[in-house]
Structure 1
């Protein structure tokens, strides 16, 4: 009997893991998730504490109240998440046009984003999108794929802090730029978060049509961008087209209009 070749062995292990850990995202997309919600929440919380030590935290009361107001309106629509209590929001004082959400209910918003997201509805677009990544367990999905791709890694524990896998774990959470490792969300995950975020903001009383205006602003702020074929993110034009289609399919939500002001 011939020995099983390493490549074939890798394929067999991957297939077994895929079958045993197969799950569906909120939009029905098939996923492979190897880690528990509690494991991911712990990793997210640890990473957030590290970031708060490294980044400058904005202490302006009005700015923080504004971001908190928008976030609270969206998170109030969510089912209780296992592995943590309340969502924690921190505003970082930086020119980065960015925001993120981590497993464990951690949200970071950079002040540079507030220059591009011109109103509460546009900010809600971004925050809803980032929360969408958490709800759809995209970090778990990315880290699971990374583990499957390298069968030499331990997949039974998330005790990664302080080990050689720490940077890969940070990248899986979307913090690759800060930690020098790039593991960007794929187009399917980005598009899925757009849809989830759009539904969340509309349910919370924000204007979903402003999501289109937000991405128009993003296009202006980013200037030229690489062709969609060479990017893991959808192009701005594709994103806008997809959002407009999704807006036309939204049910008739009638929540109270939010009034968050900076």
Structure 2
């Protein structure tokens, strides 16, 4: 049983690679869009039904406008770089929800929510574009399916250990150590990697959409000023504000250079 579980684990990891077109790197993903997207779309619709969606306001219209520009820029980049049809099956949707939470999120397949609580931080359309680019990037890079894949591997590892260990006391110690170790050593770094990747991809596509990538670092300075005490980075799902500010500042010139390839020489 132990050998069978480990063999299954290895086979899944080896056969489940998909290339991220923006980085050129293989990713761990054994959940196809045809399986993930319908679940995500249904969950998104259920969320909207049970929350207060803001419609008809200038802010709601801005969220949709920015989202459409960012998604269009992403498609332009993909088509120009040899990935036509990559977005088949995506159903972009952008909604503003009346909630004081300082957050925005995107589900697989392009279903995006902004909370009104983040608007004082974004301040303007370019600030919204920073956040929108990041969220769209999560969808483009299949981060949701990758997290599902990593979670499945984490579960398989736990099952394999429990099957292999016969002694109850040792099994209990294993479960404690495995739970903490796999979370801090695997799942949290995996999540931080995704956040960093989304920051970089998002910066690039917001620039192609005509928004100034220099404003990304400024947004995170505002986020840092507004935020409370944060956990140490190694215990967080996200990079620290300082790490993000440093990264975004360093990447902005390359994002502008990429935008120039698409004829974008001035920014909003």
Structure 2-normalised TM-score?
0.77
Cα deviation for residue 105 of structure 1 reads 2.3
The corresponding residue for 1:213 is 218
Cα deviation for residue 122 of structure 1 reads 1.3
Q: 1:67 aligns with which of 54, 63, 67?
A: 63
CA contact (8 A) 2:189 2:234 kept: no
What's the CA shift string for 1:204-225, capped at 9, x where partnerless?
0000000001001111111221
Q: In structure 2, what is the Cα distance between the partners aligned to 1:148 and 1:236?
A: 30
Structure 2 unpaired stretches of 5+ = 76-84, 158-186
1:148 aligns with 2:129: no
Cα deviation for residue 37 of structure 1 reads 1.3
Q: In structure 1, what is the Cα distance between the partners aligned to 2:207 and 2:253?
A: 12
Q: In structure 1, what is the Cα distance between the partners aligned to 2:190 and 2:111?
A: 18
1:91 aligns with 2:101: no
Matches within 5 A, 1:1-20: 6=2, 8-20=3-15
Q: In structure 2, what is the Cα distance between the partners aligned to 1:258 and 1:195?
A: 18
1:255 aligns with 2:264: yes
Q: 2:19 aligns with which of 20, 24, 29?
A: 24
Structure 1 unpaired stretches of 5+ = 153-181
What's the CA shift string for 1:120-170, capped at 9, x where partnerless?
111101010011111110111011122233349xxxxxxxxxxxxxxxxxx
Helix, strand or coil: the match of 1:186? helix
Q: In structure 2, what is the Cα distance between the partners aligned to 1:92 and 1:14?
A: 40
1:106 aligns with 2:142: no
CA contact (8 A) 2:188 2:234 kept: no
**Higher helix residue share:** 2
The corresponding residue for 1:194 is 199
CA RMSD of aligned residues (A): 2.3
1:82 aligns with 2:91: no
Q: Which has the larger radius of gyration?
A: 2
Helix, strand or coil: the match of 1:55? coil
CA contact (8 A) 2:102 2:118 kept: yes
Cα deviation for residue 24 of structure 1 reads 2.5
The corresponding residue for 2:29 is 33
Helix, strand or coil: the match of 2:54? coil
CA contact (8 A) 2:212 2:267 kept: no
Q: In structure 1, what is the Cα distance between the partners aligned to 2:33 and 2:135?
A: 17
Aligned length: 224
Q: In structure 2, what is the Cα distance between the partners aligned to 1:150 and 1:217?
A: 38
Cα deviation for residue 258 of structure 1 reads 6.9
Tell me whether 200-209 or 47-56 shows the greater mean CA deviation.
47-56
Cα deviation for residue 60 of structure 1 reads 4.3
Q: In structure 2, what is the Cα distance between the partners aligned to 1:73 and 1:216?
A: 24
Structure 1-normalised TM-score?
0.79
Q: 1:256 to 1:50 in 2, by over 3 A?
A: farther
